[in-house]
């Protein structure tokens, strides 16, 4: 319904004429989406026969151990350098942001600074997690 480019009386007339017939209700009910999916459960769940019996298969399949190639190790080491450099830069950026926040009196600017500090802290945490994952990968070899 278009109520733009008209005066208040015309807009009111358009709105009232659109709703004068009452509630717009479909003639028939909506289509039912169907029956819920039926779960298939086995007739019997296998359990150890005796209390001390241990299964030979792990509960969660373990991924096959892969060895890192020299090229992959080099790329991971380079990635560590890049991530560590970015992390250092962001940590250094926090000091002036925190100083600016401490002396700022304008609430809008303080809010912006707080958001910037929060974003930097979140990115630093993300970088540290990624660095840790790479280091674990390299150490596991």
**From CA 109, how far away is CA 120, in angstroms rounded?**
16
**From CA 118, how far away is CA 31, in angstroms rounded?**
47
Query: Tell me, what's the pLDDT at 17?
Result: 76
Query: Tell me, what's the pLDDT at 12?
Result: 84
Confidence category of residue 125, pLDDT binned at 50, 70, 90: very high
Query: Tell me, what's the pLDDT at 131?
Result: 93
Query: Tell me, what's the pLDDT at 58?
Result: 52
Confidence category of residue 23, pLDDT binned at 50, 70, 90: low
Tell if the pTM clears 0.85, that is, is over it. Answer: no
Query: Tell me, what's the pLDDT at 42?
Result: 59
Confidence category of residue 55, pLDDT binned at 50, 70, 90: low
Query: Tell me, what's the pLDDT at 18?
Result: 72
Cα torsion through 123, 128, 132, 133, rounded to 10: 0
Whether the pLDDT of residue 122 is over 90: the answer is yes
**Mean pLDDT of the chain, nearest integer:** 79
Whether the pLDDT of residue 28 is over 60: the answer is yes
**From CA 120, how far away is CA 89, in angstroms rounded?**
10
> What is the per-residue DSSP string for 10-44?
HHHHHHHHHHTT-----SSPPPP--PPPPPP--SS
Whether the pLDDT of residue 38 is over 80: the answer is no
> What is the per-residue DSSP string for the chain?
---SSS-HHHHHHHHHHHHTT-----SSPPPP--PPPPPP--SS----SSTT---SS-SSPPPPP-PPPHHHHHHHHHHHHHHHHHHHHHHHHHHHHHHHHHH---HHHHHHHHHHHHHHHHHHHHHHHHHHHHHHHHHT-
Domain extents for the chain?
Answer: 70-139
Least trusted range by pLDDT, from 9-18, 68-77, 90-99, 103-112: 9-18
């Amino acid at each position: 319904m278009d109520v733009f480019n008209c005066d208040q009386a015309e807009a009111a007339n358009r709105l009232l004429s659109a709703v004068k017939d009452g509630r717009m209700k479909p003639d028939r009910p909506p289509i039912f989406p169907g029956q819920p999916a039926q779960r298939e459960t086995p007739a019997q769940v296998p359990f150890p026969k005796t209390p001390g019996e241990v299964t030979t298969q792990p509960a969660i399949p373990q991924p096959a151990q892969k060895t890192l190639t020299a090229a992959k190790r080099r790329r991971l080491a380079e990635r560590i350098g890049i991530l560590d450099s970015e992390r250092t830069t962001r940590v250094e950026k926090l000091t002036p942001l925190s100083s600016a926040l401490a002396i700022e009196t304008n609430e809008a600017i303080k809010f912006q600074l707080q958001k910037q500090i929060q974003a930097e802290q979140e990115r630093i945490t993300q970088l540290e997690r990624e660095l840790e994952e790479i280091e674990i990968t390299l150490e596991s070899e």
